[in-house]
Amino acid sequence: MTTDTDRALSPVPLMQLATGFWAFKTLAAAHELDLFSRLSGTAGTTAGELAEALAIEDRPADMLLTGCAALGLLVKNDSRYVNSPIAEEFLVRGTPYYFGGFVQMLDQRLYPGWGRLTEAIRTNRPTTWDPDKQSSLFEGEDPRLLAVFWEAMHSLSTFTARALGRAVDLSGARRLLDVGGGSAAYDIELCRLYPGLTATVYDLPKVADIAAGKVEEAGLAGRIGTVAGDFFADSALPDGHDTILLSMIMHDWAEDRCRAILRKCWAALPSGGQVIIAELLVNDERTGPPAAALMSLNMLVETEGRNYTPAEYGAWLADLGFHDVRTVWFEAAGANGAVIGRKP
């Protein structure tokens, strides 16, 4: 028997899911062809002009421009296509918040790995690298690709840090330890938001060097320092901090290693100190949100970890003795919330 609900159903949502890669590959191809950098600061292009510039036929040039306009990456003024504001801000090489490296990393590294997602599900092993032959997921990766990836991650983290700093009141914090702090984007933004705050970036030596350069560029070398180390290999975290930040770190690791990180945080914090875990959190019901759930599958393709729930983080913190555990939600590209615990 056919019901009204059956008649109301449509395959349109499935079509949107099934063809989602069309949009990504349009963006990736346009970036690879340097379309947005070519158009920046110009009066735009027609399909014929783009075809000539790229030495391609008019047909694909027209289709690429149409596709990018449909996705909001280009705007058409009369017969000429120009960058949309979001493309001009994030997809032009050399701009402060250039995001193209992330697109490039997704296209060259993660897209092939996701093509083997069923294999990752069946084997519970990453597909972008071989743990039996490589010591880390980035061992053997093209250094040029890693460089542009770090720039893109700095852009992503900058905007996420601003959202975190507005959602979580750090006015009472004085010394922040950013564990696995990457390029120091969080520290730079949080120190800008909170003039009384100083910070330390603690990361692997090569990454700490990147952070030091970014801190110098930001003019905050007097307030943000770097310490090279390994939070698994080192016996203890740097001490003397009242707040420890773990941002986009925990999802890389299995539960036992996450708990090991938190034990070191507990040992390093003084009484009254707090730990902040900022992540794309899966809800406690394990039904979403989509960004966190799909990022979790990305961790299957890339790492031993997954995206955890507030309840899981809360239980691990409580097991260590943290009190006043709470979750603060916000909206950003890199994270959607923070789980916070305080050491009595």
- pTM for this entry: 0.93
Residue 87's identity, in one-letter code, is A
**Does 152 have pLDDT greater than 90?**
no
Mind listing the pLDDT tens digit for each residue in 179-193? 999 999 999 999 999
Structure tokens at 313: 């983080």
97 found inside a domain: no
Query: Is 49 within the bounds of a domain?
Result: yes
Task: Please report whether residue 103 resides in a domain.
Answer: no
Beta bridge partners of 276: 245, 340
**Partners of 247 in the β-ladder:** 278
Q: How many CB atoms lie within 10 A of CB 289?
A: 13
pLDDT of residue 137: 78
AA letter at 97: Y
Query: CATH number for the domain including 36?
Result: 1.10.10.10
Mean of pLDDT values over 199-219: 96
Helices (H), the chain: 4-8, 12-18, 20-32, 35-39, 47-54, 58-70, 85-90, 100-105, 111-114, 117-123, 143-167, 185-193, 205-218, 255-268, 290-302, 310-320
Taken in order 68, 69, 70, 73, the sign of the CA dihedral is: positive
User: What is the per-residue pLDDT across 38-67, written as a single tens digit (0 to 9) for each?
Assistant: 999 999 999 999 999 999 999 999 999 999
* CA dist., res. 109 & res. 128, Å (int): 7
270: containing domain: 117-342
Say whether 323 is catalytic: no
Which is catalytic among the residues 154, 241, 251, 323? 251
Q: Find all residues with CB under 8 Å of 58, minimum gap 6, and list them.
A: 47, 48, 51
Residue 143 and residue 9 share a domain:
no
Same domain as 159, residue 70: no
CB 160 within 8 A of CB 334: yes
Domain shared by 73 and 129, yes or no: no
pLDDT at 1: 53
